[in-house]
């Protein structure tokens, strides 16, 4: 099973991941992170299909995926 991890203090609240998710299971919190932004969270993790679109979409590399113990970072050069 895949587990999405959002590093909240990297998030700038752009909501691109929310739009990108085909399952519509990402949302924004009503709490502020260290940068002063409302950050993204996975509202229904059990419905995640592991497509990784959120990871690829995030411009701030705030989202990683843990699949069977392997953590995937996207566009982290
Ligand atoms: S991996 Fe796909 S289904 Fe899962 S939260 Fe990201 S965009 Fe949504
Ligand atoms: S795409 Fe990245 S920066 Fe934008 S809301 Fe989602 S996690 Fe935050």
Residue 53 lies in a domain: yes
In a domain, 66, yes or no: yes
User: Does the structure show a pLDDT above 50 at 18?
Assistant: yes
pLDDT in tens, 23-61: 999 999 999 999 999 999 999 999 999 999 999 999 999
Candidates 53, 60, 57, 62; CA nearest to 2 is: 53
Residue 77 inside a domain? The answer is: no
| Cα 57 to averaged position of ligand 1 atoms, centre (Å) | 10
Give me the number of domains the chain comprises. Answer: 1
Q: What's the pTM value of the predicted model, to 2 decimals?
A: 0.89
Q: Which ligand is nearest to the CA of 1?
A: 1
pLDDT at 59: 95
The boundaries of the domain holding residue 52 are 2-72
- What gap in Å lies between CA 27 and CA 45, rounded to an integer? 11
Measuring from each residue's beta carbon to the nearest atom of ligand 2, which residues come in under 6 Å? 6, 11-17, 39-40, 57-58, 60, 62-63
**Does 50 reside within a domain?**
yes
Q: Whose CA is nearest to atom 2 of ligand 1?
A: 51
**Residue 2 banded pLDDT, cuts 50, 70, 90:** confident
- The CATH number assigned to the domain holding 25 equals 3.30.70.3270
């Amino acid at each position: 099973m895949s587990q999405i991890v959002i590093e909240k203090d990297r998030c700038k609240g752009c909501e691109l991941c929310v739009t990108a998710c085909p399952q519509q299971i990402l949302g924004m919190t009503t709490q502020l992170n260290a940068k002063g932004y409302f950050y993204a969270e996975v509202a229904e993790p059990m419905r995640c299909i592991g497509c990784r679109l959120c990871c690829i979409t995030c411009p701030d590399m705030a989202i990683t995926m843990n699949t069977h113990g392997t953590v995937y970072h996207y566009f982290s050069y």
